[in-house]
Amino acid sequence: MTTARNPFDAARPVRRRTRTFRPNYLSFAGTYQCNLACPHCCVPIEWTDRLPIPVAVRFLEQAHAAGIEVLGFTGGEPFLYPEFLVAVTRRAAELGFRFDKLMTNGMWHRDAGHLSDVLTGLRDAGYSGKIGLSVDKFHGMDIAKLAEFCRVTRRVFDKDTILSLSYASRSPDAGLEPIRRLAAELDGVIDWSELIGRYMLVSDDLTMTLNWNHLAAVERAEKLPGDPWDGEWFAEDYCEGPGQALIVNPRGEVKPCCGFASDLDQLTIGNVHTDTVEDIIRNARRHPYVGKVFREGLTAIRDDILARDPDALPGATTNHCYFCWYVLTRGLAAGVNGGGGKVGNWTGDRPNHAGELIQLGSRVRMEPSNG
């Protein structure tokens, strides 16, 4: 699961836009596992690790003490580990966290009764954020089941704005067909809102905003058709929207963002089993790549690479996370080893786990790892 690039997200107000890593958002992925296997997924859904609840709660308390006030959940499919969601939500509500979004594919429930029971448990634990539903051609296409998910969620939380929709595609106007089908199933319409600069799905009892994710053809999606080097350079945004976050994965590793490249080991800034929030923020600021992204921007990384070798990149791309993934897996960025990434299923070792290093700045063509 990834989050839309939105540097001006109202849910995540920024007090001072200082150019450094200053996370204002905490998100837990309690499990990697998922009931679906989307072709564009960049999560190692084959891995069975789970984040222990007491470890997550301890980190949540530290984050609260460090001034982080907003919490989200991601995965994998978070609802495959509902006891985690309930326990962490309960403690977060006690601490006064603001809940942002819980991302789900909306297809994990056995039937409406099962769905209602799980959602009621979450609501009663104090969850007051949005439920973010991923709907696009890569996710489940059982539109009737998704509509059931929407109706039951609306009823349990008794709130017409409880849901938002996310879709991954090459441009904001592309890939809306499954959402149009969902709108028809819910007797709703899709319309562009000038006010918020996004599409909305509106029906009699539901109002959902649509959040676009710029699809990055990385990891198992590397072979999807279309050239990610689309000839134009990305706009600098210092990764503010998907970044400035502490994203904790089921192994306890902490990432500074939920971008498409964030599962790479090169973007790990600490581990909740061994490091405190303060350690992790310090690590991130000193990290040769992460520190630079938030201090000087992705454009500074690009300019360094091109200054060293004007032919180091195949072209220009508007896709931040694709660029990030490419330069990290190819070992082009200063101070971090190349390697990692996975084409196909995430089984076996990954090259940089196995100790295979790629010379900084060399133009190495990575062969797909079949592990």
Among 12, 139, 220, 350, binds ligand SF4 (CB under 6 A): 139
Using alpha carbons, list the distances in angstroms from residue 182 to 2, 35, 198: 21, 20, 17
Structure tokens at 340: 């990692």
Using alpha carbons, list the distances in angstroms from residue 183 to 102, 137, 167, 174, 361: 21, 15, 14, 16, 48
DSSP H helical ranges for the chain: 53-65, 82-95, 112-125, 143-157, 177-185, 277-286, 290-295, 298-308, 320-329
User: What string marks each residue from 91 to 130 as x (binds ligand SF4 by CB under 6 A) or -?
Assistant: --------------x-------------------------
- Cβ count within 10 A of residue 50: 18
First to last CA, the chain: 23
Nearer to ligand SF4, 5 or 64 (CB): 5
- Asked whether position 76 contacts ligand SF4 by CB under 6 A, the answer is yes
> Taking contact as CB under 6 A, which single stretch among the options 54-62, 255-263, 352-360, 362-370 is the one that binds ligand SF4?
255-263
Angle, CA of 357, 361 and 362, to the nearest 5°: 70
Q: Is 145 helix (H, G, I), strand (E, B) or coil?
A: helix
Q: Please give the residues from 317 up to 336 whose contact with ligand SF4 meets the rule CB under 6 A.
A: 320-321, 324
Cβ atoms of 289 and 336 within 8 Å: the answer is yes
Among 4, 26, 43, 143, binds ligand SF4 (CB under 6 A): 43
Residue nearest ligand SF4, Cβ-based: 259
Least separation in angstroms between residue 47's CB and ligand SF4 is 12
Least separation in angstroms between residue 98's CB and ligand SF4 is 22
Least separation in angstroms between residue 151's CB and ligand SF4 is 20
Binding residues (CB under 6 A) for ligand SF4: these are 1, 34, 36-38, 41, 43, 45, 75-77, 105, 134, 139, 239, 242-243, 257, 259-262, 293, 298, 320-321, 324
